């Protein structure tokens, strides 16, 4: 629920206009990606109300008065565009990163908008993947369930499955856990600085570095695995998953784990379990990750991102 004070409403001393919103939308507001006007206009259509702050005895419990259709449509009750979470005079209570850090990429050469978008987008996808798959402790079972629900219902036969999967990985992150771009210096040489969970950022740096150092081996193993899937009719699933032989399953499992190990990832068993022990799906998901690592590493190979990056650990309160 989110609310804004309004100038007047009949029979109310301190009227507020409010609506129910999704966690995802609230997190987008906290992270500064959308303004308050947008948030209120995206509320659930049948969940707009008014309340009178002055009528509350404890400052926490309010009687809601359902807003009428013409009130919801009126601009009078919405804030002016351009008010973001950073404009609040009181610090918002936000979920904090357990171990926040900054990762800086030093850049050079010519970059256009599409280049920045591609590089940061790939880093974000690798970060989101690593943050979920590598999480341990009390959150791990929730993220395992999330992975299971995102992986198993998909057919993995067209590009839309992969696009939606990585979009879901990123949107699953709470506002405080998502990767944020803190600095983007366009001059040459320049710098891109991102902020996120320390362990996930280190994983990103290590994966890209490993691919960079073993690019020929990784590319060869990627192509071999993809060709095997194609030859066996599994890229487009022209052959039913039920017709996959035990020998092929074992071969796919060995080749996929070998590819993961080449880039220094040790999360194969957990990811395989999230894939319902389907080695074909497991292989396809890993191939999709390697494609994103390859795209990020290509900027290093071109000399446009240098290897002298660093990870800076921050105090949790920052």
pLDDT at 140: 63
Residue, of 188 and 124, whose pLDDT is higher: 124
Q: What is the DSSP string of 97-166?
A: PSSEEEEEEEE-S---HHHHHHHHHHHHHHHHHHHHHS--STTHHHHHHHHHHHHTT----SHHHHHHHH
pLDDT at 162: 92
- Helix or strand or coil: residue 23? helix
* pTM strictly above 0.75: no
pLDDT digits (tens, 9 = 90+) for 16-52: 999 988 877 887 787 777 899 999 998 876 789 999 9
- CA gap 147, 145 in Å, rounded: 5
pLDDT digits (tens, 9 = 90+) for 177-229: 788 888 888 877 889 999 888 888 988 999 999 999 999 999 999 999 999 99
Domain ranges of the chain: 2-87, 100-313
């Amino acid at each position: 629920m989110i609310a804004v004070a309004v100038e007047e409403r009949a029979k109310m001393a301190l009227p507020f206009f409010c609506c129910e919103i999704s966690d995802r939308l609230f997190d987008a507001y906290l992270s500064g990606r959308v303004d308050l006007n947008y948030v209120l206009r995206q509320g659930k259509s049948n969940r707009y109300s008014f309340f009178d702050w002055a009528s509350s005895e404890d400052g926490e419990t309010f009687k809601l008065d359902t807003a009428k259709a013409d009130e919801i449509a009126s601009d009078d009750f919405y804030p002016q565009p351009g008010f973001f979470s950073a404009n609040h005079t009181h610090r918002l209570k936000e979920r904090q990163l357990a171990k926040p850090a900054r990762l800086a990429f030093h850049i050079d050469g010519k970059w256009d908008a599409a280049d920045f978008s591609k590089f940061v987008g790939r880093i974000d996808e690798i970060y989101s993947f690593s943050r979920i798959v590598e999480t341990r402790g009390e959150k791990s079972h929730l993220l395992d369930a999330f992975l299971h629900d995102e992986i198993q219902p998909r057919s993995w036969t067209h590009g839309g499955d992969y696009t939606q999967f990585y979009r879901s990985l990123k949107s699953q992150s709470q506002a405080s856990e998502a990767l944020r771009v803190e600095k983007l210096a366009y001059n040459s040489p320049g710098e891109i600085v991102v902020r996120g969970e320390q362990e996930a950022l280190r994983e990103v740096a290590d994966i890209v570095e490993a691919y960079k150092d073993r690019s020929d081996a990784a590319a060869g193993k990627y192509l071999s695995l993809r060709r095997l899937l194609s030859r066996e009719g599994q890229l487009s699933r022209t052959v039913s998953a039920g017709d996959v032989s035990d020998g092929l399953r074992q071969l796919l499992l060995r080749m996929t784990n070998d590819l993961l190990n080449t880039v220094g990832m040790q999360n194969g068993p957990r990811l395989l379990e999230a894939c319902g022990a389907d080695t074909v799906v497991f292989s396809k998901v890993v191939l999709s990750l390697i494609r994103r690592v390859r795209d990020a590493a290509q900027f290093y190979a071109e000399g446009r991102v240098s290897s002298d990056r660093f990870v800076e650990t921050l105090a949790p309160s920052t």
